[in-house]
Structure 1
Amino acid sequence: MKDIKSKLISAEQASKLIKNNSRLGILTVGPRSYPAELCKALERRFVSEGRPKGIEVIFNLSYGEEKGEGIDRFGHQGMVKRFIGSDYSFSPRISRLISKNSVQAYCFPSSVISEMFSAGAHNKPGVISKLGIGSFVDPRLQGGRLNPCSEEGLVEHLVFREEEWLFFKNHPLDAVILKAEAMDEEGNLLFYSPAAKSEAANLASAARKNGGLVIAEVKRIVERVRWEMSLPAFLFDYYVLAKDESKRRDKIKSSQLLNLSQEWEIIAGRVTKEIEEENKVFLSKRLRAMLPKIASSGKKFKIIADWFDPWEAEGELGEEERNIVFLDYLPHFCDTGLLDLAIVPFNQIDGSGNVNSSKKGHKIIGCNHLLEVCQNSKKVIFCGTFTPNGYSLNLQEGELRIIKDGRLTSFVPQVEQITFSSEQAFKYGQEVMYITERAVFSLHDESLVLLEIAPGVNLWQDVIQKMECEVIISPQLKLMDFSLFVKKKDLGQLSQIG
């Protein structure tokens, strides 16, 4: 313990070990692995001293509540010269810097980021993957670049054995910061999950291979850690004892799920009709408000999620929790092709059926594990409202009344960023649907086909004229199910009458 105590330093001391213009890897596999104290200290030092400056930050996921927390602590002009990550959704300061072209920024799939860390640990030149072909990650489109100043090409398009691949270059790390649950008296670290342990091992090894520095933030010191969830002391240079955060919860409980608005009740109800018995279903965190309605559909299927842990939910969803399978780290599972159905949000759709789910105006969301999910699921359903903002709807006698539409439409001539490629979906025979509160579409031969409209909606005035892209109207066009548009109290009265 005596030798280990000499390696215990403060967060402020640790922040001074990160040099200007260095490449920093950060462990972000779940909030419990994110080194909050170290990131705070780095931010404080930059604000007060202007150092470290010009660093490159490589991370996987972002966390926080859009209040300058998580990776957003690095969102200061001059602090970072380049970001490489998969998720920018909780980083408004970084989004603003990217939009102003003040920092280089790239976005790659979550599992690719993890494999990049592994490549660094195993002396590989990079990662070869099919993820992102035809999307904004493809170098023939944007190559993952998020703005004009991100000039360097970090992705290459390859043809190997007559198949297309993308090659993501390796980025040797100068320093790594990470967080562990506990440290024992010999300096071995305990991690809260296999995924956190695996990514921490790759990050630390990658830095070691490059002669870099590894600093670990730890929650507590114990006599001995469990070997099956631990990493050896020789991987780490210094340790920082974190403040007690035992009262914080990491997973979303059902009490934190947002109430469904009227239009999203319709969308969730229509989505549920597409779920078949025994399906393995991915539900995006951005659609988490739909969870109670989908889980209580009465069908036997499994919802795969990394943001809702039934073991921590304390029975709040009742028996429906049996339908939920919590996976510690989704991207690698989603990449296997074992998902039957993916339920994902959209921001924009074009006439070819391409979808933008990763960018919303000036807000950079990132792809996170959307590419893994959308590219590898047998069926994909994209959900969203027909006009994104400023609309007003009402239900009346089993019909949908459009009182006021938003200024913008979700259906555009060309999406701002291709998160989902209809060309690739058509090539591999994926079934694709697009569900809104007033219309349901499908993908056919790289074209958008209108299948259903809501009762009470005017086809021309409320649907076709509100679209800025071409659409094919199915000869079998029909009305959406009447029951979706009956208010709950009215539906109860109808069932009593029946």
Structure 2
Amino acid sequence: MSKHITPAQAAALIPDGAVVSVSSSSGLGCPDLTLKAIGERFEATGHPRDLTTLHPIAAGDMSGIKGVDHIAKKGLLKTIIGGSYPSGPSSAEPPLIWQMIGNEEVAAYNVPSGIMFDMHREAAAKRPGVMTKVGLDTFVDPERQGCAMNARAAAEPLVKKVSFEGEDWLFFPAIKPEVAIIRATTSDERGNLTYEHEGAYLGGLDQALAARNNGGIVIAQVKRITKDGSLRPHDVRVPGMLVDYIVVDPEQKQTTQTLYDPAISGEIMRPLDSFRVPEFNLQKVIARRVAQELEAGSAVNLGFGISANVPRILLEEGLHGEVTWVIEQGAVGGVPLLDFAFGCASNADAFMPSPYQFTYFQGAGFDASLLSFLEIDRNGSVNVSKLSFRPHVTAGAGGFIDITARARKIVFSGMFNAGAKLDIEAGKLVVEKEGKLKKLVNEVEHVTFSGRRGVEQGQDITYVTERCVMKLMPQGIVLTEIAPGVELQTHILDQSEFPLIVSDKLKQMDAALFAEAPIRLKLPRKPVRKLEGIHG
């Protein structure tokens, strides 16, 4: 019996009130045609209704792949739990899902991506749930927002704080999906799935296991169906015994604005000189200074924003390959891509399934993480997940909290304040006009990284901006470097809502950062790894 069905037939399989898990990371791996069919069925029949949908990373990107916006309809969605959500420019109309969240038409939660995958794994094994320290003292903690994105969600708590052997833990109950909608490149007639054109495996296997082990169904969207027995067993990532139905979309995009690029899926290797080197500007100055924090031989996580340019800095400096980049979608090594293709890498060494990449992050197996900030407060806490005046521009935390929970070293980067008019002249930073919005604030609106936890755990925390470098220390945030041309009092101390501690060894940032020529970067070698003790 053929497992191949139409998108409309797939939509008709979903009952009212179902819990539906969707595999996607923005446009990467998004089963967009299937989601579209669900939305069209609801418009035509009023069913399915009152769904709870799970999106471990995100679904859709508002740049040609609507994803969750296909099903963002009042009455269709009752609850949505996502690692992150589609975002867009502040000038654009908010995505439909953000309008629903703001209008209290759906209970919406932002749960760290790694924890969401853990919840699937626990459901598959029929264990009660996830007990973790990831998220303590952040917006995930029930003593803050408890992952709730609106009042409707706050009325139905998702996470509890519990005590175990004298320590505080967060407990997330396992959620049992009745339907899993995943995506691959090829299915054979029995539903065996291969991912040869995909930019990542994501978590489709874990989501399929969670649905199947709890009596649910698995729908796989693919580009093509091939003959039974024609796929190499080693290439099959999700076995056909877990797949009930197959939807074919021969036009599915590989990722946002990308129909198909074989370098993203590791089928070819791009020449290094084909990668664009960042133009000289203040963002490049910051990325260069971040690069100076690295050690050769390290495994380093990258987040979206200015830090995503750091691999290109190493390329320009002739140091490509000295650092292994790891991103939450699963790529290991290579050159992580920018802008609409962020989450993919060209020339990767390997692809890890996202749930295992998050296990690596949560346990701090990597050496450093390079991330962005929107706000920093007096405790060293960072907000990247919420700005009330621009809610649909901040997409949520994604894997940020999983990554930072125990990371040994974190370098946060961003502009010192928002809207300032700045220039570089003769190797010096010129502040022509200050911005109206300060980013160093007494208290961040949303705690995505807890500075208090960072100090307690002895994490090495650095903040890099165009005008200074700061370190988080037990006594507070310490100013350690200042840009050439910047006035300490006027341009830095007066622009912070809280007192900064000026190091008695304050020095000037490397002048080479502020010139167009390469900075002749040299990376110290990471110490040889030795057996470490086991710590909590």
Give 1:384's match in structure 2, choosing from 414, 428, 437. 414
CA distance in 2, matches of 1:106, 1:95: 12
Match of 1:113 in 2: 116
2: distance between equivalents of 1:438 and 1:142? Answer: 33
Q: Distance in 2 between matches of 1:463 and 1:341?
A: 27
> Contact 1:120–1:202 (CA<8 Å) still a contact in 2?
no
Does 1:284 pair with 2:303? Answer: yes
Q: CA deviation at 1:116?
A: 0.9
CA contact (8 A) 1:109 1:369 kept: yes
- Shift in alpha-carbon separation, 1:326–1:355, aligned structure 2, 3 A: farther
Give matches, 1:418-429, under 5 Å: 418-429=447-458
Correspondence 1:68-467 to 2 at 5 A: 69-90=66-87, 92-150=95-153, 151-192=155-196, 199-223=203-227, 224=229, 225-228=231-234, 229-245=236-252, 247-249=259-261, 251=264, 259-260=278-279, 262-286=281-305, 287-298=307-318, 300-305=322-327, 327-328=351-352, 329=354, 330-360=357-387, 361-363=390-392, 364-388=394-418, 390-445=419-474, 447-467=476-496
Distance 2:347 2:446 in 1: 33
Moved more, 447-456 or 427-436: 447-456
CA RMSD of aligned residues (A): 3.1
Confirm or deny: 8 A CA contact 1:40 1:73 kept in the other structure. yes
Please tell me whether the aligned partners of residues 449 and 472 of structure 1 are also in contact (alpha carbons under 8 angstroms).
yes
Structure 1 contact 268–294 (Cα < 8 Å) conserved = no
Query: In the alignment, residue 324 of structure 2 is paired with which amino acid?
Result: K
Greater Cα shift, 249-258 or 328-337: 249-258
Other-structure match for 2:342: none
Give, in whole Å, the separation in 1 of the partners of 2:276 and 2:102.
30
User: C-alpha deviations, 1:416-440, integer Å up to 9, x for none?
Assistant: 1111111111111111011100011
Identity of aligned residues (%): 30
1:164 CA drift (Å): 2.6
Q: Deviations over 1:185-243 (max 9, x none)?
A: 33433345999779333323322343323222232222223333244434333222222
What is the rounded CA distance, in whole Å, between the counterparts of 1:444 and 1:298 in structure 2?
A: 33
Moved more, 24-33 or 94-103: 24-33
Deviations, residues 242-287 of structure 1 (Å, cap 9, x unaligned):
2244742484988786845611121112112211232222221333
1:51 to 2:52 alignment:
no
Residues paired across the two proteins, number: 480
Gaps of 5+ in 2: 89-94, 338-344, 521-536
Could you report, residue by residue, the CA deviation over 1:7-61 in whole angstroms, capped at 9, with x for unpaired residues? 3221012112212222111122685643221011112223444432321110112
Check conservation: 1:260, 1:290, Cα contact below 8 A: no
Return the alpha-carbon distance in structure 2 between the equivalents of residues 43 and 470 of structure 1. 52
Q: Is the contact between residue 300 and residue 323 of structure 2 (CA under 8 Å) also seen in structure 1?
A: yes
Q: Give TM-score, length-normalised by structure 1.
A: 0.87
The alignment's TM-score, normalised by the length of structure 2, stands at 0.81
Partner SS state of residue 502, structure 2: strand
1:209, 1:441 → 2: CA distance? 49
Task: Give the C-alpha shift of residue 324 in structure 1.
Answer: 6.9
User: What is the CA-CA distance between 1:170 and the residue it aligns to?
Assistant: 1.3
Letter in 2 for 1:294: L
CA contact (8 A) 1:33 1:196 kept: yes
SS in structure 2 opposite 1:267?
helix
Which whole-Å CA distance do the structure 1 matches of 2:140 and 2:156 have between them?
13
Give yes or no for contact 2:134–2:401 (8 Å, CA) kept in 1.
yes
| Unpaired stretches in structure 1, ≥5 consecutive residues | 315-320, 493-498
| Partners of 1:395 and 1:430 in 2: CA distance | 33
Q: Quick one: distance in 1 between partners of 2:184 and 2:502?
A: 55
Q: Deviations over 1:72-99 (max 9, x none)?
A: 3233333212111112144733233323
Counterpart CA distance in 2 for 1:333 and 1:257 is: 30
Would the aligned equivalents of 1:63 and 1:90 in 2 still touch at CA under 8 Å?
A: no
| Cα pair distance change 1:258/1:76, threshold 3 Å | farther
Matched to 1:391, the amino acid is: A
Aligned equivalent of 1:36: 32
- Of 5, 8, 16, 1:12 maps to 8
Conservation of the 8 A alpha-carbon contact between 2:52 and 2:77: yes
Cα distance between partner residues in 2 of 1:324 and 1:23: 34
1:453-480: CA deviation from partner (whole Å, max 9, x where unpaired) = 2111122221122212232222222221
